[in-house]
A and B are shown apart, each in its own frame.
Chain A
Amino acid sequence: MTHPDFLWADPEPKRGYDVVVIGAGGHGLATAYYLARNHGITDVAVLERGWLAGGNMARNTTIIRSNYLWDESAAIYEHSLKLWEGLSDELDYDILFSQRGVLNLAHSLPDVRESVRRVNANRLNGVDAEWLTPAEVKKLVPIINTSQELRYPVLGATFQPRAGIAKHDHVAWAYARAAHDLGVHLIQNCEVTGFRRAGDRVTAVETSRGAIEAGRVALCAAGHTSVLAQELGFRLPLASHPLQALVSELLEQVLDTVVMSNAVHVYVSQAHKGELVMGAGIDAYNGYGQRGSFHVIESQLAAAVELFPIFARAHVLRTWAGIVDVSPDASPVLGLTPVENVFVNCGWGTGGFKATPGAGWVYADTIAHGRPHPLAAPFTLDRFTTGALVDEHGAAAVAH
């Protein structure tokens, strides 16, 4: 087997671009692709301070679902899930999208009531959802412990059959190649250090590779968005936290769906290669260090071993952390900013990967037309002033 050809070029930055996207993670790459594909805007650069898709895109647990409680969230995540369903064909690249279903376990009576409510809300929004009894959970996941003797027994679960996982690297590479083919410049090792202003507009982005003129600027920097906003002189309702995850060594296939538990807090799937991929909640403190505290790993493994006793003999191969930008209502911030030609896409917190195609789609539309896409309209920065929050804390099928 020979080394494959490079999928995209590594160009020197031009003097300027119509749109400069900051951050070549999944959202930035998808945004650039949809700017070119849906809106014919091809004079686009995606600036990346490190390497392409080397931040949270390389650090997430690849779970894709749309079973959010509130109408606004269900609409944008379901839009994203529909795009996932056609993405391998659209981008002509196998992203290993596997609709193996996602279970969200309930461990207490309040959990059960919230879960059944969410199933009903999902169905009213056209999102596939079922309520499963413990016996039905056991049938779907034979290795799970449904003993009612557990401290937090499994009392049932919500199930979204169309949910699943995808191969995160392939997703990034597929979008990168497709964007490159449409004329987008992907510029790595190019850190944004400041902005040149003329009144309410940004005229150029200052970078470690020189100033780059910009007609419009699209922030897509996840955990680092607050740092950019500070340079631009406006405030965001974000706190950046480490979010840890881990994989086991390669194992025989034992789990062919995704299991998430909010109450004992672990989520687990088994990658195509065989690693168990697990994650849980954020570390409590603000942090940009891409590492967290070990007790967070310990508690998620304790939860995993209680639910799946056979995991007790698996070895942890690797743990790591990404930097997630958490908003007060656990919903994203997407839309215009106080700076006239600067747009923002951030605040996806712990759930950004699943939104990659949908966020890119609506963000590109927002940038192209200078107003929020209808699906993005509930998620503008203004909602923190009007009070119209989309409060997915505890409602989004996972604690944040």
Chain B
Amino acid sequence: MLSVPCPWCGPRDETEFRYGGQAHVAYPADPAACSDAEWAGYLFMRDNPKGWFAERWFHSAGCRRWFNAVRHTVTYEFAAVYAPFTQPPGVPS
């Protein structure tokens, strides 16, 4: 089981969390102006890297707050957690 470092509560078991997928997928500023392809990009297309990944977590059985994390998708190691709507800290190389 992963130990997820909630920025508000500290490290907790993965079973306390819900996963939210890729972070920083912004709602289109003017949805009505989107082409079908742009809308598909917003709704469906996702980064799916083998390596560091900025993603969202929700501490559903804890503080019930969302946060973002940078986690490695092969080692599953967390490099950083940070508040929603803020930019990710530097990603390890």
Q: Are B55 and A384 in contact (CB under 8 A)?
A: no
Which of B24-32, B42-50, B80-88 lines the interface with chain A? B42-50
Separation of A285 and B78 alpha carbons in the complex (Å) = 12
Q: Are B36 and A284 in contact (CB under 8 A)?
A: no
- Chain B residues with CB below 8 A from A224, complex form: 50
Least Cβ distance of A379 to chain B in Å? 14
Least Cβ distance of A225 to chain B in Å? 9
Q: Are A384 and B50 in contact (CB under 8 A)?
A: no
Contacts of A303-351 to chain B: CB distance below 8 A: 325, 328
Separation of A293 and B2 alpha carbons in the complex (Å) = 7
Q: Are B44 and A286 in contact (CB under 8 A)?
A: no
Interface residues on A, range: 20 to 34
Q: Are B36 and A286 in contact (CB under 8 A)?
A: no
CB contact under 8 A between A295 and B15, given known A328-B44, A384-B44: yes
- Chain B residues with CB below 8 A from A387, complex form: 36
- Chain B residues with CB below 8 A from A295, complex form: 1, 14-15
Least Cβ distance of A242 to chain B in Å? 9
> Number of B residues contacting the other chain (C-beta, 8 Å)?
27
Separation of A295 and B75 alpha carbons in the complex (Å) = 18
- Chain A residues with CB below 8 A from B41, complex form: 235
Instruction: Closest B residue to A329 by CB, please name it.
Output: B44
Separation of A38 and B39 alpha carbons in the complex (Å) = 39
- Chain A residues with CB below 8 A from B76, complex form: 285, 287, 289
CB contact under 8 A between A285 and B55, given known A239-B21, A240-B73: yes
Name the one of A284, A286, A325, A385 contacting B73, with C-beta atoms under 8 angstroms: A286
Q: Are A293 and B1 in contact (CB under 8 A)?
A: yes
Name the one of A237, A284, A386 contacting B45, with C-beta atoms under 8 angstroms: A237
Least Cβ distance of B24 to chain A in Å? 14
Task: List 10 A–B pairs whose Cβ atoms lie within 8 Å, in order of A's numbering.
Answer: A226-B49, A235-B45, A236-B45, A236-B48, A238-B46, A240-B73, A285-B2, A286-B21, A287-B76, A295-B15
